[in-house]
Structures are given as C-alpha cells and as structure tokens.
C-alpha cells in the first residue's frame, strides 16, 4: 500500500471531498461506490481506506466541512452585526444558508438519501442530526447572548427540521419570506 506524505494526504483529502461532493450530488449516496470515488481521484481502493473507513464517512466529512463554513459565516455576521439586531440578522442568515444549499447540491439531497445516511451513521456520532452538527449550532446560539422563547435544544432541532425541509424543495422568494417570518416569530 502506498505511503503518502503530508502534502499528498492533504491533496487527496481535498480531491476526495471535491469529487465525493460531485458524485454524491449527481448520482445519490446509495449509487456511488468506493470504486467510483477512487477512479475519480486516481487512487487505489486500498489507499482509499487510509482516508475513510467507508463512503458514508466521506459524505459526512463533506457535509460537516460545508456546515463549518456556513457557521463561520453566520458567526462573522453575528460578530459584525453593527447596528443590526440579531432579530434582523435571522432572515439574512437563513437566506445565506439557502444560497449555499443552491451552490452545493449535496446539501439538498432528498430525504430518502438523508435517512439512509443518517441511519447508517447515527450510532457513530450522536451529534449529527441530518447532517447538522448540533454542537456547532449550540455554540453559535450560546454566543449570541440572546434570550430565546424556548430551550436552545428545541431551537436547534427546529432549525434542523427547517433546513431539511428547505433543502428538499425549491421555494419561491415569497415562500422563503413567509417561512423566515414564521421562524423569526417562533424563535424570539
């Protein structure tokens, strides 16, 4: 089995994430094989297992990487809110998330595929709730310093349900606006 130096490992991880996102988005999670992934990045099947134990772990790594980017952007918006109140930021944050899901179709795979992955992986990571990292959301909610109407655990689950619903449908601007208003009302 080939040995990879740190630079090669970093490049292979990046290539696996990029090609994995493309393949999962185009073919769906069940249809993508490890052989497909290896062929796309030009590594052997044995080498693949040096990086991930299965394709589901690669999928979650891609999702978590994208969500961390999203949460860093949300955090930056909150930290740099200026004269805007947090209440005014919620629509911007949700719209930003929706833009990212449109840019990265892997975040918009259908519910059957999400259920398949969730059921395969939920026992290994209890912090995953349909791909959202609960611990990151909790930290983000804590850092806002806002007093919410409901416990933050409920808000996190509600956000996850909304994200799941939104990522599975193409909503009009009007529908998005209505949903954002409802969510804003419920949260505060």
Tokens of 88: 């005014």
Question: Which pLDDT score, from 0 to 100, does residue 172 have?
Answer: 76
Low-confidence ranges of the chain (pLDDT < 70): 1-2, 82-87, 108-147, 159-170, 186-188
Residues 6+ apart with CB under 8 A from 97: 70, 74, 163, 166
pLDDT of residue 126: 47
- pLDDT in the model for residue 106: 80
For residue 100, the model assigns a pLDDT of 78
Q: What is the pLDDT of residue 158?
A: 72
Domain ranges of the chain: 1-52, 59-187
**Quick one: fold of 1-52?**
Arc Repressor Mutant, subunit A (1.10.10)
How many CB atoms sit inside 10 A of residue 117's CB? 22
Q: Can you tell me the distance from the alpha carbon of 74 to that of 54, in angstroms, rounded to the nearest whole number?
A: 31
**Helix (H, G, I), strand (E, B), or coil: what is residue 43?**
coil
Does this model's pTM top 0.75? My answer is: no
CA angle in degrees (0–180, nearest 5) for 34-38-41 = 140
């Amino acid at each position: 089995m080939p040995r990879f130096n740190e630079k090669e490992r970093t490049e292979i991880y990046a290539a696996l994430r990029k090609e994995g996102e493309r393949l999962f988005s185009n073919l769906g999670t069940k249809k993508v094989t490890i052989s497909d992934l290896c062929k796309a990045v030009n590594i052997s099947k044995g080498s693949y297992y040096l990086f991930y134990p299965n394709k589901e772990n690669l999928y979650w790594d891609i999702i978590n990487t994208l969500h961390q980017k999203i949460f860093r952007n949300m955090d930056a918006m909150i930290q740099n809110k200026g004269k805007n109140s947090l209440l005014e930021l919620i629509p911007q944050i949700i719209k930003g998330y929706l833009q990212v899901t449109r840019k990265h179709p892997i975040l918009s795979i259908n519910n059957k595929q999400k259920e398949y992955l969730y059921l395969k992986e939920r026992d290994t990571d209890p912090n995953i709730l349909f791909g959202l990292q609960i611990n990151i959301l909790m930290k983000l909610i804590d850092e806002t310093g806002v007093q919410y109407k409901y416990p933050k655990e409920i808000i996190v689950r509600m956000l996850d349900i909304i994200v799941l619903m939104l990522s599975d449908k193409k909503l009009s601007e009007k529908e998005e606006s209505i949903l954002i208003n409802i969510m804003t009302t419920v949260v505060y």
